[in-house]
Structures are given as structure tokens and as C-alpha cells.
Amino acid sequence: MNEPKTVEPVTKTSRTNGCERGDNHLNSGLTSHVLPTSATMVGVCMTVIGLVKIFEGATRPSRIDEALAVNSVLFMLSALFSYLSIRTRKNTAGLESLADTLFMIGLGMMTVVGILFAFEFI
């Protein structure tokens, strides 16, 4: 007779990015997305800073380049903590949380800077 297939319960370890991970990686998928996105956002900030510097002579000076420089540091720190959370085998929930928090602060700051720049407040 055909026996019904049993579903195995989820164990404490799972494989993510080729590394075994334990319970301490509750959102290990999130940190693997934060790392490349943060690095991309650093590049976006640097590109906008360069464009602002090029066009600053033709328009009035602004503070957007300083604001985006701070923003790029936030994204770089987010990428660093995300990388460390992937590479370490210890409890990295704190690193993942810090990377996620810095990333969200950076996105929020970039949005505010964009709005202020669009309405010519900075």
C-alpha cells in the first residue's frame, strides 16, 4: 500500500548562501538583500554628489552634497554590518537589526533630502 508522505519539521539549522545557519538568523534572507542594496545606494549618493558639483557653478550653491555624503556613510555602515552578519557564525541578530535600521534611516534621509532639494530649501 501507499503510505502517506510525512512532512519533516523545520530544524534549527537551514542553509542560506551556502552556510549553515542556526536559530540566531531569524531574518538571514533580509541581510543578504540589504548588503547589495546598501552598496548600490552608496553609488547613487556618490553619483548625485558628482552631478551636484558639476552643476553647482551654473546654479546657486546648495547643501545637498553634504547631506548626501552623510547619507552615503549611513548606507556604507549598513552594508558593513550586513556583511559582518553574513560572515560571522555567532549570534548576529543585533548586527542584522543594526544594518536594517541604518538602511531604513538612510532611505528616509534620502527621501527628505530629495524633497527639500526639489522645493529648493537646500
The three-state (H, E, C) secondary structure of 74-103, written as one string: HHHHHHHHHHHHHHCCCCCHHHHHHHHHHH
Q: Report pLDDT digits (tens) over 71-122.
A: 999 999 999 999 999 998 888 889 999 999 999 999 999 999 999 989 988 7
Q: What is this structure's pTM?
A: 0.73
Q: Report pLDDT digits (tens) over 23-64.
A: 444 456 788 899 999 999 999 999 999 998 888 877 777 889
**Domain limits of the chain?**
26-118
The amino acid occupying position 97 is S
CB 62 within 8 A of CB 52: yes
Max distance between CA atoms of the chain, in angstroms, equals: 82
